[in-house]
Each structure stands twice: as C-alpha cells, then as structure tokens.
Amino acid sequence: MNTSSDTAGLRAVGGQRISGDSSYFTRYEVTAKVTQGLGIRPSEIRKCLRTRVLGQAGVYFRSLASTNDVAKQLASGGMREGTIVLAESQFRGKGRLGRKWFSPEGGLWFSVMLRPRIEPKHVLKLTLLGSVAVVKTLSKLCGIRAEIKWPNDVLITKRKVCGILAETGIKGKNLEFAILGFGINANLDLAAFPRNLRNSATTLKTHLGKEISREILLCSLLENAEVCYDLFESGKFEEILDDWRKLSGFLGSHVRVLDGQRTIEGIALDLDSDGALIVRLKDGNVHKVISGNVIRVIRASRSEEDCNWIS
C-alpha cells in the first residue's frame, strides 16, 4: 500500500476549511457536532481500529453533499491512501448509475481512498472486494447471513442493506486513485424511508431489533476490507472471487440486465476473472456484463428493485 502523506492543496473541502496542518491527517478531525446524542465518536474509532492503513486518517462531517465527492477532492490533493471521509448524513448522496442515495442521520456513510496500481478498467474488482468485506463483517459482528447481488449490493432477506459506489481519478492511462463509498443502512427505521423504498430496503436496526455501534461496525469493516485489499494487491484476486461466489447466493439466479437501451434476460452463471457477470441467455448464447442494473427475477410477477435510490 502506498502510504504517502503529501497533503498539499487540501485546504478547502466541501466548502469548509478543514485543515492546513499536515500532522492533522494522522488524527480524526471532528467538524461535526451532533446534538441528538446519535453521533459517531471519532475517538471510539481511534480506540478500536486495528488496521495498518485503512481508516488511519479521516475526516468526519455532520452533513455534506457526498463523502465520495469530498474524498475525490482530497485524493486529487494528494491525501494518503486509506484516508476515510465519514458523515452523519449526506444531502446529495450518490448511488450507482447516476442515482441519488437516501442517506439521513443514523446510517453509516463513508468513503475510503485507495491508490491501487491497476488499470482503470479493473476497478470493478475493488467493488466486488468491498461487498465481500461487508458480508464478512455482518456475519462476524452481527451473525447476519447477508447475500451479494452482482456486482456489490448487499442484501438481507432479499432487501438491500448496503450499496457501494466506486469512483476513480485517472491520470493519462493510469489510475491515480479509487474511491470506494459505502452506504450502510445501519441505525435507521424503515418508516423514515420514502414509501416507495420500504419494500426493497432494509436496515440493520430493523433486522436486529436494536441499534448497533457504528464505530465498531466501521472498524470491523475497515479491517475486513484491508485483509481483502492486501490479497488483491498481492495478486490473489482469485481468492476474493471465490469468496464472492460462496457468499453471494446469486449465481444460478434468473436475472434481467438493463444495460443502457438494452435489456437481456438469462441465468447468472459465474464471474470471469475480472469480476464480469457471465449470463446464459435463453437462446443458449453467453453474454458478459461489466456494468448496468441487474435485477433478480424472483417470480414472473415480482422482481427485486434496488433501494435508497430516490428520484
């Protein structure tokens, strides 16, 4: 992992001056004051985090437009690998495919900045890695058996509890940085969701019947993500793919893929070595999907739709 700590150009972020002092980036900066006693405590994160790099520096906001956007600005300014941007709420949270992501107080919304030495086309691998880390975390920490819907939606009882958005910064032909943004519906009541999302979304609070510590959830997720990222960096992405296959519960499903103007339907057969989804079409042909919205067709009359996406 690259741990360079060049902090030039990191003065004004998201409209707020966050710091001009390079030593600041070794600590958590609290720019947020949450009045309702609900707030994430960065000091707790510092105490419980057992990683080498991921989350070893971070910025914490009460509210911002999108943690991914701030992370991108920080990354362009030279922020060191592993830095996280964490927020109590986002007012322009972003989902995949240009959608808006519902992200009020109570969720776990954060982005982590990575500097992998890969070509931009391999960024899909990072999102798969992120979803494996989330499923492992929910299993170890909460005893929840979650599933993954390709590429990286994490579902509990077929409802979406977490989405991951990868964005990149590219210099010439090379990837300068990748931002992995995690949106976990943690301590939220479903009643707080817009009505049209309530059937397709779930929250950890709803599933567990109680709130969980978001600091512990974050630390555990960063630890699992770091293990996966180290495997990836040492050329062992096959191991992540094997975990994805075991944990996803998705392969063998009847799927509908909406890819731009085109819709295809078939059986999700496997992932190729880059993480693309291999679908066998009705006519027996095989099609590789590298992006798009994939819906699992459960019965002729019902299909899973994604959640937290607001129009």
Residues found near ligand BTN in the complex (CB under 6 A) = 66-68, 90, 93-96, 99, 101, 103, 109-111, 153, 163-165, 181-183
- Minimal distance, residue 179 CB to ligand BTN, in Å: 8
- Least distance (Å) between residue 85 CB and ligand BTN: 8
Nearest to 107 by CA among 211, 23, 18: 211
Is 204 within 8 Å of 308 (Cβ atoms)? no
Inter-residue contact 292 to 259 (CB < 8 Å): yes
Max Cα–Cα distance, the chain, nearest Å? 61
Which residue lies nearer to ligand BTN by CB, 64 or 234?
64
Least Cβ distance, residue 16 to ligand BTN (angstroms): 17
Taking the complex as a whole, the smallest distance from the CB of residue 173 to ligand BTN amounts, in Å, to: 26
Q: Which residues contact 281 (CB under 8 A, 6 or more apart)?
A: 264, 265, 266, 287
**Residue number with CB closer to ligand BTN (100 or 280):** 100
Output the residue with the shortest Cβ distance to ligand BTN: 163
CB of 123 to ligand BTN, least distance (A): 14
Q: Which is nearer to ligand BTN, 28 or 61 (CB)?
A: 61
Nearest to 19 by CA among 31, 5, 2, 3: 31
Beta pairing, strands 309-310 & 100-101: antiparallel
Query: How far is residue 73's CA from residue 85's CA, in Å, rounded to a whole number?
Result: 11
Q: Give start and end residues of each alpha helix (H) in the chain.
A: 42-48, 67-76, 123-142, 204-208, 214-233, 237-248
Nearer to ligand BTN, 94 or 205 (CB): 94
Q: Closer to ligand BTN at the Cβ: 5 or 168?
A: 168
Residue 69 near residue 14, CB atoms below 8 Å: yes
- Smallest distance from the beta carbon of 101 to ligand BTN, in angstroms? 4
**Which lies closer to ligand BTN via its Cβ, residue 46 or residue 99?**
99
The Cα–Cα gap between 45 and 132 comes to: 22
